[in-house]
Amino acid sequence: MANTFQVDVVSPEATVWSGTATLLMAKTSDGELGIMANHEPLMGSLVTGPVTVEAEDGTRTTIGVHGGFLQVLNNQVTLLTDRAQVATGGKEEARQVAEELAARDGD
Query: Quick one: pLDDT at residue 58?
Result: 93
Query: Quick one: pLDDT at residue 79?
Result: 98
Note the Cα 92 to chain centre separation in Å.
15
Enumerate residue ranges in the chain where pLDDT < 50. none
Query: Quick one: pLDDT at residue 40?
Result: 97
Q: Are 26 and 59 in contact (CB under 8 A)?
A: no
Residue 63 CB coordination number (10 Å):
24
Q: Are 94 and 87 in contact (CB under 8 A)?
A: yes
What is the rounded distance in angstroms from the CA atom of residue 37 to the CA atom of residue 21? 8
Query: Quick one: pLDDT at residue 104?
Result: 74
Residue type, 23: L
Note the Cα 91 to chain centre separation in Å.
12
Please tell me the pTM assigned to this model: 0.85
Query: Quick one: pLDDT at residue 91?
Result: 72
